[in-house]
Amino acid sequence: MTRVLIFREPHCFTLSQVEAAAERIVSAINEGQGGLYIEDLGSPVYARQQGDVVIVTHNVPVEEIDLPRLSRREHQVLVLLGEGLTNAQIALKLNLSSRTIRGYVAAMKTRFSAQNIQQLVARAVALGLIHPNL
């Protein structure tokens, strides 16, 4: 059983379980045969394997786009956001002020064209910048 995370819009996704090997699912989707495993994918779609999860997006492969540049600290904050921590919890964990964390989050939301933290995290996952534990 393979978990498939499908981003239908930048801020909307579904998680499905598919009875097939991740490699077969990725190959089928990237060859235009995703309907064999998942209904209503639409097109064009792109899939890649990330650990034991298949990520499906409606955009081009990560290698073909410019990824937002993140500092080491911004990446740490993004990972912790992806784990579900609040700004205050992140500030405590990294020994920084809440105001500093809010600044990092605001800057990343601008770079990712995200309106909220959920969109920010969803886009970071779709781009392969963070790897959530699903």
CATH number of the domain within which 103 lies: 1.10.10.10
Same domain, yes or no: 11 and 58: yes
Is the pTM value of this prediction over 0.95? no
Q: How many domains does the chain have?
A: 2
Mind listing the pLDDT tens digit for each residue in 51-83? 677 777 776 554 444 567 889 999 999 999 988
What integer is the mean pLDDT of 117-130? Answer: 83
Residues 49, 95 within the same domain: no
Residue 113: partners with Cβ closer than 8 Å, 6 or more residues away: 123
- Pair 76, 117 in one domain: yes
- Within a domain: residue 36? yes
Q: Is residue 131 part of a domain?
A: no
**Same-domain check for residues 11 and 57:** yes
pLDDT digits (tens, 9 = 90+) for 7-40: 766 556 777 888 988 888 888 888 888 888 887 7
122 & 82 share domain: yes
The residue out of 13, 48, 64 marking a domain boundary is 64
Q: What is the largest CA-CA distance in the chain?
A: 50
Give CA 55 to chain center in angstroms: 8
> Measuring CA to CA, how many Å separate 78 from each of 36, 56, 57, 92?
34, 20, 20, 15
User: Is residue 129 a contact partner of residue 72, using CB atoms and an 8 Å limit?
Assistant: no
pLDDT given for residue 62 in this prediction: 46
* 86 shares a domain with 57: no
Q: Are residues 23 and 76 in the same domain?
A: no
Ramachandran bin of 70, using left for φ above 0, alpha for ψ from -120 to 50, beta for the remaining angles: beta
What residue numbers bound the domain in which 84 lies?
72-126
Closest CA to 34 of 24, 134, 52: 24
- Tens digits of per-residue pLDDT, 125-134? 877 788 776 5
